[in-house]
Structure 1
Amino acid sequence: MPKPAIAFTAAPTPEAQAALTRLTGAYGQAAARDADIVVALGGDGFMLQTLHDTRGLDVPTYGMNRGTVGFLMNDYDEDGLVARLQAAEEAVINPLRMTATDTDGTVVEALAINEVSLLRAGPQAARLRILIDGRERMDELVADGALVATPAGSTAYNYSAHGPILPIGAGVLALTAVAAFRPRRWRGALLPQAARVRFEVVNPQKRPMMAEADGTSVRDVTCVEIASAGDIRHRLLFDPGHGLEERLLREQFT
């Protein structure tokens, strides 16, 4: 198998930048548009940024952990990288598409690989009306907020908010409440991946909320629509036996 053209990219931290210098010296550096594989050096946050930056290239991305969490990353090792890339397993994930409208009527669209979250932006609890595919499913959720997570993002903020871990390929999304007050014990629901979720903010002037999608923040939202972006795919590479399926299973037993 011919040696792949690799485009290395790295977080701005000293550790990641030092790794970038060593790896490009050993394996060369291709432009992203000409690469067979992108190798991202950093943590999960940098991996998400890299996936967004290379979205239009349809090139697989292999991450090596030079950050902190590293759930989406492989172990860092400078030796034998070409063989690791050639043996890597691919996982394909779809992001969420957020359409948020604020009190001025401004509409903001953004993509989120992990989750779209709505959080209160004031001292009072938020009040949300929830519709699924145009049908009202909850007339009022009183909580600090709510989120919709993909399977790839289900171990992140969603899991911290006591949401479920979702297997890759399960075809579902997690709708999870954040510190629900009423219904007090309601933590959320599992939705088909094709579902369209709409949150409407009740009394946004008195109870302001913000929406967040992978670094894109919208303040003073009145409604937020969320749907899986099936037309967009991200290709992630993992060492054999350490793919997303295995990681999601392992997370549930540790």
Structure 2
Amino acid sequence: MRSVAIVPHLEKKEAVSLMRELMEWFFERHVEIRLPAEDASVLGHPELGFPEERVTEEVDFIVVLGGDGTILRTVRLLKGRDVPILGVNLGRFGFLTEVEVSQLHFALSRILDGKFCLEKRMMLECEVFSGNEVVSRQLALNEVVLGGGGRQRLLEFDVYINGEPFSRYASDGLIIATPTGSTAYSLSAGGPLVSPSTRLIILVPVCPHTLFGRSLVLTETDEIRVSCPGSKNSAVMVSVDGVILFEKPFDFVRVSASSHTTNLIKVDGRNFYSLLKEKLRIWDSF
């Protein structure tokens, strides 16, 4: 491990001081450091800055200082590259982050010694079509969401599974999530909690106007196509992992399992269920 990219959430109070400490730690061990150019300028080290499209190229691993949102930003920077990510929790829940600040130096020493494993997280590929042409494409670690944004109106979504008509949902939105995303927006909308080691696709309507508005769990080989009938198309936006991908009229959106994965570094051996218990405090009497 001779090179590292560091992606900090500099609006978090402790991120700046921790960033400076980390830079010194890596310099002492002759590890090359890369930072997003904007973050490097804020820290007073523009010489370490790289454009976002290049910052994750040719590095051995990435250290993320922040919460789950900063991990998602890093995944966007990777654009499908399989560079391992170590998440350091400076946020609240931190389902995707592996270590707390107090464990960071221990974790980094293990990584430099090669004593870690990778947890491969399933991703989705989202494609927006106008006619038969793909006009926008993005990978999702958590979820793809079709919704009205700030517009307060009921929307309609025609859902096809593997090319066959499945259902028309009248709802505020539609979430198509990965197992990793089952602890995010999908959970808030009533979707199931799913172990991130599985490869499944979760379909969750948001506030459906129906007596039957259950979520649906599909296999990783299933393909979902969503269109919006009539003029309601103009009110729908497509977002991926919380960032707007497309907000113009479109013909349909296709979502399927991607061949790419997000590779999270694991050093402490905690499993998903103990993490779930800790983060959500489900069984606080134990």
**After the TM superposition, which residues 96-111 of structure 1 pair with which residues of structure 2 at under 5 Å, given as runs?**
96-101=124-129, 107-111=135-139
**After the TM superposition, which residues 11-26 of structure 1 pair with which residues of structure 2 at under 5 Å, given as runs?**
11-13=9-11, 14-26=13-25
Offset of 1:5 from its aligned partner?
4.0
Q: CA RMSD in A?
A: 2.6
Cα deviation digits, residues 112-141 of structure 1 (max 9, x gap): 110001113533211111100101111x21
- TM-score where L is the length of structure 2: 0.77
Aligned to 1:125: 154
Aligned to 2:205: 177
Offset of 1:51 from its aligned partner?
2.1
Aligned to 2:218: 191
The question of whether the paired residues in 2 share the 8 Å contact of 1:163 and 1:176 is answered with: yes
- Write the distance in 2 (CA, Å) between the matches of 1:107 and 1:41: 33
Aligned to 1:226: 255
- Write the distance in 2 (CA, Å) between the matches of 1:156 and 1:206: 26
Aligned to 1:200: 227
1:71 aligns with 2:69: no
Equivalent position amino acid for 2:108 in 1: V
Change (3 A) 1:245 1:62: farther
Offset of 1:239 from its aligned partner?
3.0
Q: Which structure has more RCO (C-alpha within 8 Å, separation ≥ 6)?
A: 1
Change (3 A) 1:221 1:248: farther
Q: 3-state SS of the aligned residue for 2:93?
A: coil
- Write the distance in 2 (CA, Å) between the matches of 1:55 and 1:207: 28
Q: What is the aligned-residue identity percentage?
A: 24
Q: 3-state SS of the aligned residue for 1:82?
A: helix
Equivalent position amino acid for 2:152 in 1: P
The question of whether the paired residues in 2 share the 8 Å contact of 1:96 and 1:229 is answered with: yes
Offset of 1:54 from its aligned partner?
2.6
Change (3 A) 1:80 1:154: same
Change (3 A) 1:207 1:54: closer
The question of whether the paired residues in 1 share the 8 Å contact of 2:9 and 2:70 is answered with: yes
- Write the distance in 1 (CA, Å) between the matches of 2:80 and 2:245: 22
Offset of 1:242 from its aligned partner?
2.5
Equivalent position amino acid for 2:153 in 1: Q
Larger deviation, residues 239-248 vs 148-157: 239-248
- Write the distance in 2 (CA, Å) between the matches of 1:163 and 1:25: 43
Unaligned runs of 5+ in 1: none
1:83 aligns with 2:127: no
Change (3 A) 1:55 1:101: closer
**After the TM superposition, which residues 55-66 of structure 1 pair with which residues of structure 2 at under 5 Å, given as runs?**
55=79, 57-66=81-90
- Write the distance in 2 (CA, Å) between the matches of 1:207 and 1:6: 43
Equivalent position amino acid for 2:24 in 1: G
Unaligned runs of 5+ in 2: 35-55
